[in-house]
Amino acid sequence: MAFLTKDELLTHLYGEVIDNISQNDDDIVIAAIDAAIAEAKGYLSRYDLEALFSADPKDAILLVRVKDIAVWHFLVLGNQSIELEFREARYTEAVKWLEKIQSGKSVPQGWPLPTPSESDPAGVFKYGSNPKRNNHY
């Protein structure tokens, strides 16, 4: 089951608008949806993406943010009686939200973390050294 479908975009765009911009070509809508999902996954790599994007029920706020991104990618094709500034603001807000999650400033409740495998390293590590000494005799 896909994380986001064309029918689910009807909460953000009217069906007539989707059909006018895409000229009744569902492949255009699907391409925008796929681009949005790929963009969101790029920000959320610290989580178990397979579990997160295949969860049932879907995470509501993640779904809304991915819809915002998908609508923005879709609207690039044409401005069919749409408030472009509003959609751009929603896109920017969605990306900022994903950046907060990526940086760890926002941690969504209940999102699955990936399960470590045998080939994965034990965790994050830090390395460094003492400052260089200059001894002159």
Task: Give me the domain span that covers residue 27.
Answer: 7-103
CB atoms within 10 A of CB 75: 19
What is the DSSP-derived secondary structure letter of residue 14? -
pLDDT for 63 beyond 90: yes
Residue 11 is assigned to a structural domain of this protein: yes
Q: What is the mean pLDDT of the chain?
A: 86
Under the banding of pLDDT at 50, 70 and 90, the label for residue 78 is low
Asked if residue 136 is part of any domain, the answer here is no
Per the domain annotation, does 118 fall within a domain? no
pTM: 0.68
Q: Are the C-beta atoms of 72 and 90 separated by less than 8 Å?
A: yes
Tell me if 61 is assigned to some domain. Answer: yes
* Spatial separation of the C-alpha atoms in residues 9 and 71, rounded to whole Å: 8
Tally of structural domains, the chain: 1
Please check whether residue 130 lies inside any domain of the structure: no
108 falls within a domain = no
Burial class (CB in 10 A: 0-12, 13-18, 19+), 55: middle
